[in-house]
Structure 1
């Protein structure tokens, strides 16, 4: 379900250009490559800054090149949807985009003093953040 909500973080079917109502549809869209507009939507919505996109999804210079092409690669799309999934889970856990954003950007002792958003550049890092969000959501001491 979080993956479906992640679609909204990247702009939904309107931005992606395809119905994204199932995990299979999302997988197919990632494999095709998301439009660059998905990155633009994440930035415009305030969910990630350009600097965070640079660290987690793709370097600025590459983003500039991908803007000319119009689409991301499947790997870049996968990193974007991974970050979007964690952002969506944080928003659900904390009840608002603003509170989730603050938590994602605050160093957290449970993650070795790192900012949760900084760990989204790897699947293992994202899994650690998702585990912590699950503990918080269920009232288990983080």
Structure 2
């Protein structure tokens, strides 16, 4: 399944059996995936809110997961898709730089080819994510990024 590895990274579990990637997105990521995103990217809640196009208040509400057997809170489909796609771009950076720590540093520093914005800032839109992916591809091919 498309983005199965990213789902596992964000949720610490195997993807559920669904017909398609779109079904997975429509059902939403579990709310506890927020903590994994914060940890993987080494970002704060404000940055995460911008990245997922959610308010900081909504992020804080998601962190309270009910354990009483009631339905677990989930990210909406837009935030779920953004989270999975950002983590895919971040994995591409890890693959190029060789470690999560180096990728975190690169993600947090302004980049000339991204208009002096950080890759993290650029990942707040799908177009920005594509530009970051393209920048990583340029690096992989020996071009200055």
Q: TM-score range by the shorter chain?
A: 0.7 to 0.9
**Corresponding position: 1:109 with 2:121:** no
Q: Which structure 1 residue ranges, 4+ long, deviate > 6 Å from structure 2?
A: none
Matched, 1:65 2:65: no
Equivalences for 1:1-142 in 2 at 5 Å?
3-14=3-14, 18=16, 25-57=20-52, 58-67=54-63, 70-142=73-145
Structure with larger Rg = 2
Q: How many aligned residue pairs are there?
A: 137
- What are structure 2's unaligned runs of at least 5 residues? 65-71
Which structure exhibits the higher relative contact order, with contacts defined as CA atoms closer than 8 Å and separated by 6 or more residues? 1
Deviation sequence 1:37-77 (CA, Å, 0-9, x none): 11112223454332321211122111233445611111110
Residues 56 and 118 of structure 1, relative CA distance in 2, 3 Å threshold? same
Measured after TM superposition, the shift of residue 102 of structure 1 is: 0.3
Distance 1:51 1:40, change over 3 A: same
Structure 1 residues without counterparts, runs of 5 or longer: none
Measure the CA separation in 2 of the matches of 1:4 and 1:93: 20
- Between stretches 4-13 and 31-40, larger displacement belongs to 4-13
Q: CA deviation at 1:30?
A: 1.2
Instruction: Give TM-score scaled by structure 2 length.
Output: 0.81
Structure 1 pair 120/96, CA: closer, same or farther in 2 (3 Å)?
same
Q: Which has the higher helix share?
A: 1
User: TM-score, normalized by length of structure 1?
Assistant: 0.82
